[in-house]
Amino acid sequence: MTGSQQGLDVLALNSGSSSLKFGLYRVGPDSLEILMSGAADAIGDKAGQLNARDGAGRALLQEDEAIADQGQAIARIAKLLAEHDLPLPAAIGHRIVHGGPTLRQHCLIDGSVLEQLEAATAFAPLHMPSVLTVIRFAQAHFPDIPQIACFDTAFHAQLPDVSRVLPLPRELRSDGIQRYGFHGLSCESIVRQTADGPPDRMIIAHLGNGASITAVKGGKSVDTSMGLTPSGGVIMGTRSGDIDPGVLVYLTREKNFDAAKLEDMIDHRSGLLGISGVSGDMRALQAAAPSNADAALAIQMFCYSVRKQVAAMIAALEGVDLIVFTGGVGENDADARAAICDGLGWMGISLDQTCNRSAHEVISSADSRCAVRVLPSQEDEQIAWHTWALCPKTPGGLADDPLR
């Protein structure tokens, strides 16, 4: 059935530095059916895990054993498909965090694209090496199957100059130094979920271990908190977000930090972890907060950081009609949502606390000046849609992606 009239079977791969989320979908012009989903976690660690569910949410597999690398994870996914008589994919879609200045639209992966992705590693060294590894292993395990690159930066490719250009010397622009924006696949999925009546002015708060705030006008990104790399913007789990650039100059001059040490500090030892000294995970911080002032401060600073950025995006949009919370924290942390919105009461935003606690989709109160919703980040589904649209085996494939 991989290329039948019943739909195209697409494997979506969403890789992190030590994790790999996957989903098998049957995609048609007007339909998307999930056949299997799962994740490999703690790759490279002796405490590795692999879990998978069928389309109805029933457990297919729960393994607790070491997964040496992404290649072994890909091989296990292929074995899983065979063990449960699931179809081989007709195409594979990959979430790509950063394509650099030359790759700004979702596309078929060929030798030229791989070279450009290699060059883009300089822009996202935390994410890109594992992505490239997954692509190569997927090509080896599923030879002759089209592979599609789906970019997190594509949603922000048409940012207006006022938000895209960074206040640095003009000659640096030719090197691709600009605001790119990230979590684009998540933002696309939110826009798609509001397609029944998308508001003119929407703010998407994607809050997880990585976090960003995006202003969307008429379905298009007009500003976003992350910049050249996924390290900027609001405070995150282990990433600093925006800080005074003079801090980096000071650490280089006075503390002899080199690029590697700065990168390690900004991406791995800062954010919620750096503030609290406990963890970069909000759940662990909330458990520790009653008896740990630094953990409590980390939570307070995170919510304060998000609130300030939401207010900035309201200014960019000249108002707001809808605020959407998504991502692991955005979807599951009622306390964080409440703390963020309580600080926006000055502009008439208020929550229905019962709806917020029960994770109702609409959590704003009846008298709130704008709607506030909680929607799932459907990155993998978005990858599947784009892969179907761009796959050469699709009738009319490799035409303009209709989802862009």
Q: Do the beta carbons of residue 151 and residue 106 sit within 8 Å?
A: yes
**Tokens encoding 180:** 């790119």
Residues 6+ apart with CB under 8 A from 382: 150, 185, 186, 188, 189, 192, 403
In whole numbers, what is the pLDDT of the chain averaged over residues? 93
Give the integer Cα–Cα distance in Å for 326 and 186.
8
101: pLDDT confidence band, cut at 50, 70 and 90?
very high
Per-residue pLDDT reduced to its tens digit, 14-69:
988 788 999 999 999 889 999 999 999 988 888 889 999 999 999 999 999 889 98
Give the C-alpha distances (Å, rounded to integers) separating 320 from 37, 121, 221, 224, 307: 35, 35, 14, 15, 14
Least confident span in 5-19, 47-61, 196-210: 5-19
Catalytic residues, by residue number, are 152
CATH 3.30.420.40 range(s) for the chain read 3-158+381-390, 197-374
Burial class (CB in 10 A: 0-12, 13-18, 19+), 2: middle
What letter would DSSP give residue 351?
B
pTM of the shown model? 0.93
**What confidence score (pLDDT) does residue 249 get?**
98
Taking alpha carbons only, the member of 398, 383, 394, 389 closest to residue 184 is: 383
Which residues on adjacent β-strands are paired with residue 94? 13, 149
Mean pLDDT over residues 383-393, rounded?
A: 90
Q: Are 157 and 393 in contact (CB under 8 A)?
A: no
**pLDDT for the residue numbered 190:** 97
Summarised one tens digit per residue, pLDDT across range 136-153 is 999 999 999 999 999 999
Strands 91-96 and 59-64: unpaired
What does the pLDDT read at residue 1?
Answer: 37
What is the maximum alpha-carbon separation in the chain? 65
Quote the distance between the C-alpha of residue 319 and its chain's center.
25
Pairing relation of β-strands 59-64 and 49-54?
antiparallel
Q: Are 189 and 206 in contact (CB under 8 A)?
A: no
Q: What is the mean pLDDT of residues 84-88?
A: 94
For the chain, percent of residues with pLDDT exceeding 70: 95
Rounded to 5 degrees, φ, ψ at 39 are: -155, 145
Strand ranges in 170-298 using DSSP code E only, listed in sequence order: 201-207, 211-217, 220-224
Pairing relation of β-strands 91-96 and 220-224?
Answer: unpaired
Would the pLDDT of 195 be above 80? no
R_g of the chain computed on alpha carbons: 21
Supply 306's token pair: 């998000």
pLDDT at 403: 56
Instruction: Take residue 198 and report the two structure tokens written for it.
Output: 């998308």
Whether pLDDT at 395 is above 70: no
Count of C-beta atoms within a 10 Å radius of residue 245: 8
7 touches 27 (CB < 8 A): yes
For 232-279, the pLDDT digits (tens) are 999 999 999 999 999 999 999 999 999 999 999 999 999 999 999 999
Q: What are phi and psi of 148, to 5 degrees?
A: -115, 135
The per-residue pLDDT for range 152-169, each reduced to its tens digit, is 999 999 999 999 999 999
> What per-residue confidence (pLDDT) applies to 394?
53
Under 8 Å between Cβ of 179 and 242: no
pLDDT at 198 over 80: no
Query: How far apart are alpha carbons 50 and 67 in whole angstroms?
Result: 8
Q: Which residue has the tokens 């206040």?
A: 167
Nearest to 92 by CA among 20, 22, 19: 22
94, pLDDT greater than 50: yes
Residue owning tokens 């990585």: 210
CATH 3.40.50.720 assigned to domain 3-158+381-390? The reply is no
Q: Which amino acid is at 155?
A: F
Domain boundaries 197-374, corresponding CATH code? 3.30.420.40
The answer to whether residue 4 scores a pLDDT higher than 50 is: no
201 φ/ψ sector (left φ>0, alpha ψ -120 to 50, else beta): beta
DSSP state, 27?
Answer: E
22 closest CA partner among 84, 64, 82, 70: 70
Whole-number Å distance between alpha carbons of 75 and 64? 16
Asked if 368 and 349 touch (Cβ cutoff 8 Å), the reply is yes
